[in-house]
Structure 1
Amino acid sequence: MSDISPIEMPAKSPAKEYLTRGTASYRRASLALFLSGFSTFSLLYCVQPLLPIFADEFSVSPAESSLALSLSTGFLAVAIICAAAVSEGLGRRSLMSISLVGAALLTIATAFAPSWHLLLVIRALEGLVLGGVPAVAMAYLAEEIDPRGLGATMGLYVGGTAFGGMSGRVLTGIFAEYLTWRPALLLVGAIGLAAAIGFIALLPPSRNFDRRSGFDPKFHLRAWLGHVRNPALPFIFAIAFFAMGSFVTIYNYAGFLLVAAPYDLTQTELGLIFAVYLFGIGASSIGGMLGDRFGHFAVLLTGIAITAAGSALTLSASLPIIIFGIIVLTSGFFMSHSIASGLVGKLARGTKGHASSLYMLGYYVGSSVMGSAGGWFFAIEGWSAVVSFTLGMLTLAFAAACAAGIFSRRKL
């Protein structure tokens, strides 16, 4: 069977050759993008279970300790905009490869940081380097995968991000208890480097990407403005901001809640709670397939509602119910993120890399700004205030999804 399937295009347009299910190239691309998601998110979020440790060791507040993550996601958000422009000339595959290797090496460097401020500088640089992966990966999928199976493939990529987010958190938590946090970060960095090498070896070259020589700021500005003027896309970007902001807020401060009385969890026990990311892997793939079959916006709204339900469940004083709430929240979030990220490629009119970069900008600005802001609520009113904060954001995400559905009817 051929690895590619010619799709007829309008007159005077060259036929595009998409990767289709059941072919060797499709399987290689799927595995490579899974590895890219795994490496990116394991490296990005490996510090999250260490936030209580950082607070103690460096004598900083919970909100300040969250900067070890928020600075990475904040700088990543800025880098994504630049990465979309750079990839137009450098190429999707080359930029992602450089980013994955660089981020793994910076994680290894973090393990040797002698001071809190230098650790933050390294983490900020890591965010800048990682910007070459998320938006470009989504653009690669939108350009190279048969549109009829894009939802399922995007779900697999998001599943890789979920697996990476889980692995980075779980492994770091376990390693930190038995080896201290520095060897933990060293080992996670080495694993990320191995995944980056696998990505480079597996990913097929782009077939439908048109390289642009030089750098034309006006072209990129027009591309971004064009997507902002799309009636539906700004609402999808808002969903990324609010949904990711609520998700990261819960994960940032759940550790502070659960290592304190009356739960008194160890670092290993706290790390193992992040194994609930496995439910995100399944939910992202299932969400993509359900969206292809039953309608993207119906599944998107369902995912946001499930996320809110999970957040509310963590208000319980019972540890099993809190963990169940995190499972529900994780499943709902990855279902909605899988659908929303796939909708960007479907709704964008050309320059899909630029559209993806705006989605990821909202995604990571939400993570950075709202993730740190949640620490203020935690310091003032405790966990109930954190949950109220997240439910407010999810209400706004739900409203944005409704608006996006209305404005996109003619497009989809």
Structure 2
Amino acid sequence: MTELSQTYRSHAQTRLIWALCIASMVIYINLYTVQGMLPSIAEHFDVSGAQATLVLSVTSFTLAFSLLFYAVLSDRIGRLAPIVVSLWLLAASNILLIFAQTFDDLLWVRLLQGILLAAVPAISMAYFKEQLAPSFMLKAAAVYIMANSMGGIAGRIFGGLMAQNLSWQSSMGLIFLVTLMGVALVTYLLPRKEIKPPVVKQKVSLMHKVKQDIDGFMFHLSDSQMRLAYAIGGLAFMMMVNQFSFIQLHIMAEPYGLSRFNATLIFLCYSSGTFASYLSAKWIMRYGSMPLFRVALCLMVAGTLLTLVDTLTAIVVGFLISACGFFLTHSCCNSFVAIRATSHRAKATSLYLCCYYLGASLGGPYLMLFWHEAEWNGVVVGSMSLLTLLLVAIWRLGIHQQQVIDVSKAS
């Protein structure tokens, strides 16, 4: 009987890993498909290419703050229901995209989708931690991060392919079908049983619960090192994800003249970041986060400057280098937050992801100003400004870390 029970538990854990990894791919395909379609969106809705980047920014904005909501909600009612309901509503929301008549209509739907997209990234790691045996956790985390990256790359390339060959309505119809099939598969795979949050027998008022949640968030926001880690992740993503938006406009123009689909192949440069993420755990254990933060910053500076060289090869190599630096930064931030958070861990992670996606939403309008002034050269100038702020944040975090080491040695 014990052996049968263990086999069932192992089967359920495997299903959960597969379900959340597929859910993650569905989320990031829906989030980033539009980034591969920016030129097509600009043409269809009669806006500039720079304005079209707002489609990604507004979604990242509502996604950022919704992460905090789902972190609290799932602690209250469990992990399964918010994931399943949000995914089915996400699939339904794609029907609205098919019938979007104006650019404003599109922005409003994408604003709504940002709320629905937040459930899976906000809940997944806590879900894994509660449902999986420790031996499954490392495997689950590694596969889940890989699924995130694969979903992001697939979504962008998929968007470029549709922009090249399909109309707007046909493209959104295809996204609806892909999402529907993915959500149905996730719903089938998710185990029906879950470990529910502990039931508190003592009656607690709603205001008291809200105060507890706010205190949990403030606990981390009052930590200067946590604030710096949040800033580092937000600034890095603010630059990186939006550089990929504007570089498409740059390489579709002369002297490069790439087609819409060929321009989206620049997103394959994310693969260097996927590789860096895979190795980052080993590097963090060997060298620590601070040296890797500095190396990552140097890679992002070098990669960004290399894109100023007037050849397609230099641009591709530059983005490969920058993506490596960015994902290394992201991995170090994740590790730093997870290790430093001794309590309210889910809230610490959701705050980091909130800053991360908030950076993405602010970066589009920010770099757009530089694009209007000097196109890609302007974007590089705007990016270097962000990297300067990133340098200051890393330097400040290093000072705090050194103070801790000095105090430890003195005692």
Q: Tell me the TM-score normalised to structure 1 length.
A: 0.85
Q: Is the 8 A contact 1:307 1:332 kept in 2?
A: yes
> 1:100 aligned to 2:73?
no
Residues 397/352 of structure 1: CA separation in 2 closer, same or farther (3 Å cut): same
Shift of 1:227: 0.9
* One of 165, 181, 194 as aligned partner of 1:194: 181
Q: Give the alignment of 1:162-181 within 5 angstroms.
A: 162-181=149-168
From 352, 372, 377, the equivalent of 1:384 is 377
The alignment partner of 2:220 has SS state of helix
Answer yes or no: is 1:252 the counterpart of 2:239. no
Change (3 A) 1:394 1:192: farther
Is residue 167–residue 275 contact of structure 1 (8 Å, CA) maintained in 2?
no
Q: How far did residue 42 of structure 1 move?
A: 1.1
Question: 1:357 and 2:344 equivalent?
Answer: no
Alignment gaps of 5+ in structure 2: none
Distance 1:408 1:197, change over 3 A: farther
Q: Does 1:32 align with 2:19?
A: yes
Per-residue Cα deviation, 1:334-369 (whole angstroms, up to 9, x for no partner): 222123123322221322221122111111111111
> Counterpart in 2 of 1:327?
320
Partner residue of 1:399 out of 388, 392, 409: 392
Mapped pair 1:62 → 2:49:
yes
What's the offset of the Cα at 1:150?
6.4
Distance change >3 Å, CA 71–CA 30, structure 1 → 2: same
Q: Is the 8 A contact 1:144 1:206 kept in 2?
A: yes
CA separation of 1:235 and 1:30: change in aligned 2, threshold 3 A: farther
Do the aligned partners of 1:37 and 1:164 also contact (CA within 8 Å) in 2? yes
Q: Of 32, 47, 54, which residue of structure 1 is paired with 2:34?
A: 47
> Which runs of structure 2 are paired with 1:191-270 in the superposition (5 Å)?
191-203=178-190, 207=195, 209-210=197-198, 215=206, 216-270=209-263
Quote the sequence identity (%). 28
Q: What is residue 288 of structure 2 aligned with on the other side?
A: 295
Letter in 1 for 2:113: E
Which stretch shows the higher mean deviation, 174-183 or 273-282?
Answer: 273-282
Quick one: structure 1 residues 103 and 328, their matched pair in 2 at CA, closer, same or farther if it must change by over 3 Å?
Answer: farther
Is residue 134 from structure 1 mapped to residue 127 from structure 2 by the alignment?
A: no
Higher helix share: 2
Q: Deviations over 1:145-177 (max 9, x none)?
A: 678996775454332221111111101111221
Check the 8 A contact 1:43/1:104 in 2, yes or no. Answer: no
Classify the secondary structure of the residue corresponding to 1:262.
coil
Question: Counterparts of 1:150 and 1:395 in 2: how far apart (Å)?
Answer: 37
Paired position in structure 2 for 1:348:
341
For the structure 1 residues 280 and 269, does the alpha-carbon distance in structure 2 shift closer, same or farther, using more than 3 Å as the test?
A: same
Paired AA for residue 64 in structure 1? Q
Deviations 1:257-299 (A, max 9, x none): 0111111111121222222333332222222343244423333
Change (3 A) 1:318 1:49: same
Aligned equivalents of 1:284 and 1:67: distance in 2? 28
Q: Which amino acid aligns with 2:23?
A: S
Q: What secondary structure does 2:258 align onto?
A: coil
Taking the aligned partners of 2:274 and 2:3, their CA distance within structure 1 comes to 29
Structure showing greater Rg: 2
1:102 alignment partner AA: L
How many residues matched? 396
Q: 2:73 aligns to what?
A: 86
Which piece of structure 1 moves more, 286-295 or 325-334?
Answer: 286-295
Q: Structure 2: which amino acid aligns with 1:312?
A: L
Q: C-alpha root-mean-square deviation of aligned residues, in Å?
A: 3.1
Partner amino acid, structure 1, of 2:349:
S
Change (3 A) 1:97 1:404: farther
- On the 8 A contact 1:154/1:342 being kept in 2, the answer is no
Counterparts of 1:1-16 in structure 2, within 5 Å, are none
TM-score, normalized by length of structure 2?
0.85
